Amino acid sequence: MFPAVDPDVLRNNPDFAKLYKTLTTEMLNPDGTNKNEDNQQHESIKRELSEHRFRQVKHDILAQAVGTVSPDEIPSSHQPAPSSEFTTLLAILPPLLDKSSSLTKDDEALLFSNPPLANLSSLLPDLAALLSTYLQTWATDLAHVARPPRSTSSAVSRTTPTIGSHFARIQRDRSATEQTLIQARMRTLETLIELGHLQIELIARLIERLEAKHGPIAQSLDLRAQEVALAARKTQADAASAVDAIHRRMYSPEMDSALENYMTHLQDAKLRAQERVRHVQKNLEQYGVGPDGGGEKADMMRELAQERRDIYKQVDEVTRDLARLATR
């Protein structure tokens, strides 16, 4: 099947369109094979391939028949009941016919030197009768599927030899139908591509009509939006100007200067206070008070202060006693 090509590509590229037409009509078959190859060699290869395929199909049919046949299908005219040796033969034949079997040559020699394979020549008539019955039944069923009988089984018997030609005709019809289906799919794809282009063109024209109909309204709304934006920017500028005017009215240049001087004074006072705090901390550290002061020195200073308070209390008591004595 050839890949689908957009018709616009073929129209816009005449050289490519000519090459594509030459390839699809003169040089290649619909299945991609070459039309101009040597017919005699091609026919010889086709015959060899057909013979090889026939041999392979024949082998596969026999292997499948041996693997699926049941001993119960043996005709009664040959043997009333299958022997155990024949049943064993039917059980071991399918693995031997399988090409993927892992049996070695020694294993095969051992199998063929012992029953039932050692007696294969005596069991061949029963095996042939069994396979013949099975294949005849299978061919009859296939004839029913390919061409259902009208009245009697004799019609099926007459149909069975023509299954090969009938199947070949079905294959030819199937190939022709596939080619017709492929061509129909390609035409459908081309139609879908054209439909897509028509839809795109329709949408473009619809957009043009909508723009022609609603364009003035959209432009008017756009202008109004721009006008509102300009008014908002003007209002913002007026508000900023009003804030500046109020600021100038509330704070005169003299007041601004006084506030700046006061701020400088506060900064100097802050620096002096910080310096005073550092000086006091250093003095307290000498008395053992502070983060770096010793604990023993602080305790001693507290004891001295307590003794000082006690001495002052005693002095006060003595003074009061002297005053009472003087009044007497």
Tell me which long-range contacts 108-117 makes (C-beta under 8 A, separation of at least 24): 115/85, 115/88, 116/85, 116/86, 116/88, 116/89, 116/92, 117/89, 117/92
Residue 322 is predicted with a pLDDT of: 78
Q: How far apart are CA 237 and CA 243, in angstroms?
A: 10
Residue 306's domain comprises: 295-328
Measured over the CA atoms of residue 292, residue 294, residue 299 and residue 304, the dihedral's sign is negative
Count Cβ atoms below 10 Å from residue 82 Cβ, excluding itself: 19
Examine residue 227 and state whether it is found in any structural domain, yes or no. Answer: no
Examine residue 152 and state whether it is found in any structural domain, yes or no. Answer: yes
Examine residue 189 and state whether it is found in any structural domain, yes or no. Answer: no
pLDDT tens digit string along 305-328? 888 888 888 888 888 877 777 665
Domain boundary among 130, 163, 196: 163
Examine residue 150 and state whether it is found in any structural domain, yes or no. Answer: yes
What six digits make up the tokens of 275?
């310096």
Instruction: Spell out the residues 6+ positions from residue 2 whose beta carbon is closer than 8 angstroms to its own.
Output: 24, 28, 30, 32, 186
- Does residue 155 share a domain with residue 13? yes
Examine residue 97 and state whether it is found in any structural domain, yes or no. Answer: yes
Domain boundary among 117, 140, 163: 163
Cis peptide before 75 (omega within 30 of 0): no
Q: Does pLDDT of 77 surpass 80?
A: no
Q: How far apart are CA 132 and CA 62, in angstroms?
A: 10
Contact 7, 194 (CB under 8 A): yes
Query: CA distances (Å), 18 to each of 25, 128, 182, in order?
Result: 11, 62, 21
Q: How far apart are CA 22 and CA 28, in angstroms?
A: 9
Q: How far apart are CA 177 and CA 171, in angstroms?
A: 10
In DSSP terms, which residues pair with 28 in a beta bridge? 34
Burial of 69 (0-12, 13-18, 19+ CB in 10 A): buried
DSSP string computed for 156-198: HHHHGGGHHHHHHHHHHHHHHHHHHHHHHHHHHHHHHHHHHHH
Residues of the chain with pLDDT > 90, as a percent, come to: 1
Q: How far apart are CA 234 and CA 223, in angstroms?
A: 17
- pLDDT bin (cut points 50, 70, 90) of residue 293 is low
What six digits make up the tokens of 222?
């756009």
Over residues 57-71, mean pLDDT: 80
Residues of the chain with pLDDT > 70, as a percent, come to: 79
Examine residue 238 and state whether it is found in any structural domain, yes or no. Answer: no
The per-residue pLDDT of the chain, averaged, comes to 77
Q: How far apart are CA 270 and CA 273, in angstroms?
A: 5
Residue 151 is predicted with a pLDDT of: 44
pLDDT tens digit string along 84-120? 777 787 777 777 777 766 777 777 778 777 777 777 7
The SS3 of residue 293 is: coil
Q: How far apart are CA 310 and CA 206, in angstroms?
A: 110
Q: Which ranges constitute the DSSP H helices of 26-151?
A: 39-68, 84-97, 105-112, 120-146
Examine residue 55 and state whether it is found in any structural domain, yes or no. Answer: yes
- Does residue 153 share a domain with residue 11? yes
Residue 130 is predicted with a pLDDT of: 82
Domain boundary among 163, 193, 217: 163
Number of domains in the chain: 2
